[in-house]
Chain A
Amino acid sequence: MPVGIEPQDLELAPGHNYGTVTDKISDIVLKEGTGKWWKAGFAVAIALLIVFHYGVVLLMTYGVGVWGVNIPVAWGFAITNFVWWIGIGHAGTLISAFLLLMRQRWRTSINRFAEAMTIFAVACAGMFPLLHLGRPWLFYWLFPYPDTMGTWPQFRSPLVWDVFAVSTYLTVSILFWYLGLIPDFGTMRDKAKSRAVKIVYGILSWGWRGSAIHWERYEMAGLLLAGISTPLVVSVHTVVSFDFTIAIVPGWHSTIFPPYFVAGAIYSGFAMVLTLAIPLRRWYHLEDFVTLKHLDNMAKLMLATGMIVTYAYVMETFMAFYSGNPYDRYMMLNRFFGPYAAVFWTLIGCNLIAPQALWFRRVRRSPWLLFVDALIIQTGMWLERFVIIVLSLHRDYLPSAWGMYYPTKVDWEVFLGTIGLFLTLFYLFVRLLPMISMSELRHLVHKTQAEEVKA
Chain B
Amino acid sequence: MAQIFHRSFNTIARVSIYGGLLLLGGLAYVSWVVEQSPLYTDAKLPLVQPIPFSHKHHTVDDGIDCRYCHTSVEKSAFAGLPSTETCMTCHSQLWTNAAMLEPVRASFLTGQSIAWTRVNALPDFVYFNHSIHIHKGIGCTTCHGQLGEMPITWKENTLYMRWCINCHKHPERYIRRREDVFKPIYDPPANQEELGRRLVKAYDVKTPTYLTSCETCHR
A to B contact number (C-beta, < 8 Å): 32
User: Are B35 and A148 in contact, with the CB atoms below 8 A?
Assistant: yes
Tell me which residues across on chain B come within 8 A of A148, comparing CB atoms.
Answer: 35, 158, 160-162
Query: In the assembly, what is the distance between CA of A151 and CA of B162, in Å?
Result: 7
Question: Interface stretch among A121-129, A199-207, A216-224, A375-383?
Answer: A199-207
A146 to B1, CA, bound (A): 52
Query: Does B109 reach chain A (CB closer than 8 Å)?
Result: no
Tell whether, in the assembled complex, residue A150 and residue B162 are in contact, meaning their CB atoms are under 8 Å apart.
yes
- Asked whether, in the complex, the Cβ of B161 is within 8 Å of the Cβ of A207, the reply is no
Any B CB within 8 A of the CB of A149: yes
Contact indicator per residue, chain A 182-206, by CB within 8 Å of chain B (1) or not (0): 0000000110000100110010001
A207 pairs with B162, CB closer than 8 A: no
Report the 10 A-B pairs with minimum CB-CB distance, sorted nearest first: A150-B162, A150-B165, A149-B161, A148-B160, A202-B4, A198-B4, A148-B162, A150-B161, A149-B162, A199-B4
User: Which residues of chain A have C-beta atoms less than 8 A from B35's C-beta?
Assistant: 148
Interface string of B141-178 (1 = CB under 8 A from A): 00000000000000000101111111000000000000
Interface residues of B (CB under 8 A from A): 1, 4-5, 9-10, 13, 32, 35, 158, 160-166
Which A residues have a C-beta under 8 Å from some C-beta of B?
146-151, 189-190, 195, 198-199, 202, 206-207
Distance in angstroms between the alpha carbons of A148 and B163 in the assembled complex: 8
Closest A residue to B10 by beta carbon equals A207
Asked whether B165 lies within 8 Å of A149 as measured between CB atoms, the reply is: yes
Q: B32 — which chain A residues lie within 8 A by C-beta?
A: 146
**Residues of A with C-beta under 8 A to B4:** 189, 195, 198-199, 202
In addition to A149-B160, A149-B162, 19 A-B residue pairs with Cβ atoms within 8 Å of each other are A148-B35, A148-B158, A148-B160, A148-B161, A148-B162, A149-B161, A149-B165, A150-B160, A150-B161, A150-B163, A151-B161, A151-B165, A189-B4, A190-B1, A198-B4, A199-B4, A202-B5, A206-B13, A207-B9
Q: Whole-angstrom distance between the alpha carbons of A150 and B164 in the complex?
A: 9
A147 lies within 8 A of B13 (CB): no
Contact at B166–A150, with CB atoms within 8 Å? yes
CA distance A357 to B84 in the complex (A): 89
Instruction: Provide the bound-state CA to CA distance between A190 and B2, in Å.
Output: 11
State A189–B2 Cα separation when bound (angstroms): 12
CA distance A147 to B9 in the complex (A): 39
Report the bound CA distance from A150 to B163 in whole Å.
7
- Residues of chain A within 8 A (CB-CB) of B164 are 150
Measured CA separation A148–B126 after assembly (Å): 15
Asked if A147 contacts B10 (CB within 8 A), the reply is no
Closest to A195 in B: B4
A149–B163 Cα gap in the complex (Å)? 8
A89 to chain B, nearest CB (A): 26
Q: How far is the CB of B141 from chain A (nearest CB, A)?
A: 21
